[in-house]
Structure 1
Amino acid sequence: MMTPHSDPYTQNSHNIEQQPIPASMPPASDITPPMGETPPQVLAEQAAEGHRGAAWRLMIWILKNDPRAVIAVSSSDDDRLARDLLEFIALGTWAGKPFAVPLPLRSPYARTRLRTLFMPGAGMDSERARGVLLAGMRSPNFHMRENAAYILGLIGNQHDVPVLIEALKDAVPAVRLQAARSLGRMRAAAAVPELLETLHSADEFVGTQIFQALVQIGGPAVPALIAECSSLSAWTRWHCVRALGEINDARAVPVLARSLNDPDHGVAWMAAKELIQFGKLTVVPTLQVLMTSDTSPWLAETGSYVLHQLYLRYRKLQPYLAPLVQEMQQFSFKIGTGYTAQKRCGI
């Protein structure tokens, strides 16, 4: 079971759209001391040397969108400032030391705003930011790896795809989840084989994120998804059938039709649900499956469901499809379905 400090999501651990949060929790009371009059440029230099008071003052100026603070960060040539910013976002500490976090720095917006500093043109030098994030991907602390993967996805540099692909093998599910999310955001077609490989052993949360990443990648993922519909794993087939439907590529129609007779009832019904959105393209492949396959109880269920939805949508098909649907709903469906489907296949 995850401890409160290891849970990378705020309030609802089932909501995979939440962003990673620092590992150390702030105290309940506000401890914000006076801001002082030290210029942001000096605060940036002091923060890079590990001074936590200077760090929080600089970050407060950043949250207030003071241009001097952003310039102070962008003009800094000290990698330590960038490393400590990532550490604060991920762990809530600064330069490896505990941080009594002032109230304005505790919000999700504060972390989002600080992440923006790593974006090209929004804060620090791009190469410095990228170097710090790539080092973060090698950190022994999984919160650092998790947050680095998340920010790399926001930046979207295709040169970082191999690093994120490697992170799909991370020992910590939260890091794998963020890697999958970033690869999807980057529409990294090169990651499709590894995403599918990771899916085989993924838990529910990582599996759901991999599904979303494959949908975001879209067309380039379709051939591999079609191939995985023959996987021995019903879990994998279910996600692949669902992704093919969400991508809505016509190449998927024949394999979705064949999946109406999948040995797993859940996969068969997911195929039925996804098939109907392809409209008339579905009719002939579905009839061909009914003609060539042994009519199992749930092929009768899923096939009749698809055809019934089609003739409700396309009234002109009703005289052709209604007799077949009626046949499939009889106790004798095993005898009459294939023959009736063959008669209707000429429509």
Structure 2
Amino acid sequence: MNEEDDLSLLDDFESEFESPLDDMPPVEAESQPAPNPELMLALLTSSDRQQRAIAARAFSEIEDERAIPHLIDLLKDACPMTRVSAAYGLGRNPSPTAVEPLIEQLGIDWNGYARKGIVCALGNCNDRRVLPPLINALIRDIPAVRLWAATALARAAHLTYEDMIKVIPPLIVALRRDPIAAVRSNCAWALGQLCRELPSNAIYGTAIDALLEALVEDDDMGVTEDARAALLKVGDPRGLQTIEELEREGMI
């Protein structure tokens, strides 16, 4: 993928974390009924790219398995907006048949918004196949994709203990080293979610150490707050004691 082309789509740093779906007209006005599934299904194969995009977007609100084959096809649409919409539609309508097409498109799509949508969809797939591409996205992709890869990993890795211990090391590395505070914050949140399901062992202890390190040493207040929140939700005695001591000393 060409990262220079990818990043050129972003007006500024903040816009990278937004979705272009936010700028699309609503499928229906708030006062109107929900999108009509039959109409939206028909529009998924429209020759008009805007109609295809709007229809695909509608299935981020509608659950209808009949849309899945069409949404999979639209992952390769020439229009980036349609690919984004299709990815979010598959996130709402997860299917085992969509996993491999999503993974394939994640590896080849030049558009950062589309990859972000694909990462979000993979996090909803409840399938172990998504873990390697999500880990790769967390390590190597642009900030907006890394941000959501951390969240997606926490959602996807709850399947088994083996899955959880596979994703914890890259999350720890990203929490310690990622240059973007928002990515580190999401890694802190993800580690907190996973630690709540882990037994108290060496892997758990290493994750708690990383959260404590972020709490004490990260220079971004948002990251320290998310690390603190994660530790509180886990309820680890060592974490709670450290938080109490820091609060007593006025350090947090």
Interval containing the TM-score (normalised by the shorter chain): 0.5 to 0.7
Deviation of the 1:59 alpha carbon: 5.0
Residue 200 of structure 1: SS of its match in structure 2? helix
Asked if the contact 2:49/2:79 (under 8 Å) is kept, the reply is no
What TM-score results when the alignment is normalised by the length of structure 2? 0.62
Deviation of the 1:83 alpha carbon: 3.3
What is the alpha-carbon distance in structure 1 between the residues aligned to residue 54 and residue 21 of structure 2? 21
1:102-121 map, 5 Å: 114-116=89-91, 118-120=93-95
Specify which of 131, 145, 149 is matched with residue 100 of structure 2.
131
Deviation of the 1:22 alpha carbon: 2.1
Deviation of the 1:145 alpha carbon: 1.3
What is the alpha-carbon distance in structure 2 between the residues aligned to residue 211 and residue 200 of structure 1? 10
Q: Any unmatched runs of 5+ in structure 1?
A: 10-19, 31-37, 95-110, 121-125, 260-269, 275-300, 306-347
Residue 7 of structure 1: SS of its match in structure 2? helix
Tell me: CA distance 1:248–1:273, structure 2 relative to 1, closer, same or farther (3 Å): farther
Offset from partner CA, 1:168-200 (integer Å, 9 cap, x none)? 112411111010011122333421111010112
Deviation of the 1:130 alpha carbon: 1.5
Asked if the contact 1:167/1:175 (under 8 Å) is kept, the reply is yes
Residue 177 of structure 2: SS of its match in structure 1? coil
Aligned residue in 1 for 2:234 = 247
Deviation of the 1:204 alpha carbon: 1.8
Aligned residue in 2 for 1:195 = 171
Aligned residue in 1 for 2:183 = 206
Q: One-letter code of the match for 1:7?
A: S
What TM-score results when the alignment is normalised by the length of structure 1? 0.48
Which one scores higher on RCO, CA 8 angstroms, separation ≥ 6?
2
Tell me: CA distance 1:23–1:226, structure 2 relative to 1, closer, same or farther (3 Å): closer
What is the alpha-carbon distance in structure 1 between the residues aligned to residue 112 and residue 188 of structure 2? 23
Identity %: 19
Asked if the contact 2:116/2:145 (under 8 Å) is kept, the reply is yes
Asked if the contact 1:176/1:206 (under 8 Å) is kept, the reply is yes
Q: One-letter code of the match for 1:217?
A: L
Say whether residues 1:88 and 2:88 are aligned partners: no
What is the alpha-carbon distance in structure 1 between the residues aligned to residue 111 and residue 246 of structure 2? 42
Asked if the contact 1:5/1:23 (under 8 Å) is kept, the reply is no
What is the alpha-carbon distance in structure 2 between the residues aligned to residue 64 and residue 214 of structure 1? 29
Asked if the contact 1:87/1:144 (under 8 Å) is kept, the reply is yes
Tell me: CA distance 1:159–1:116, structure 2 relative to 1, closer, same or farther (3 Å): closer
Deviation of the 1:244 alpha carbon: 3.3
What is the alpha-carbon distance in structure 2 between the residues aligned to residue 240 and residue 41 of structure 1? 41
Structure of larger gyration radius: 1
What is the alpha-carbon distance in structure 1 between the residues aligned to residue 58 and residue 130 of structure 2? 31
What is the alpha-carbon distance in structure 2 between the residues aligned to residue 162 and residue 137 of structure 1? 12
What is the alpha-carbon distance in structure 2 between the residues aligned to residue 160 and residue 60 of structure 1? 22
What is the alpha-carbon distance in structure 2 between the residues aligned to residue 64 and residue 184 of structure 1? 23
Residue 166 of structure 1: SS of its match in structure 2? helix
Aligned residue in 2 for 1:184 = 154
Specify which of 184, 207, 218 is matched with residue 235 of structure 1.
218
Q: One-letter code of the match for 1:176?
A: R
Aligned residue in 1 for 2:115 = 145
Tell me: CA distance 1:84–1:212, structure 2 relative to 1, closer, same or farther (3 Å): same
What is the alpha-carbon distance in structure 2 between the residues aligned to residue 227 and residue 63 of structure 1? 38
What is the alpha-carbon distance in structure 2 between the residues aligned to residue 149 and residue 162 of structure 1? 12
Tell me: CA distance 1:213–1:21, structure 2 relative to 1, closer, same or farther (3 Å): same
Q: One-letter code of the match for 2:73?
A: R
Specify which of 254, 272, 279 is matched with residue 245 of structure 2.
272
Offset from partner CA, 1:197-235 (integer Å, 9 cap, x none)? 01122322111111110111024363112444579x822
How many residues get paired?
213
Residue 20 of structure 2: SS of its match in structure 1? coil
Tell me: CA distance 1:271–1:183, structure 2 relative to 1, closer, same or farther (3 Å): farther
Asked if the contact 1:164/1:182 (under 8 Å) is kept, the reply is yes
Say whether residues 1:173 and 2:143 are aligned partners: yes
Asked if the contact 1:241/1:271 (under 8 Å) is kept, the reply is no
Say whether residues 1:73 and 2:53 are aligned partners: no
Say whether residues 1:225 and 2:207 are aligned partners: yes
Asked if the contact 2:74/2:82 (under 8 Å) is kept, the reply is no
Asked if the contact 1:169/1:198 (under 8 Å) is kept, the reply is yes
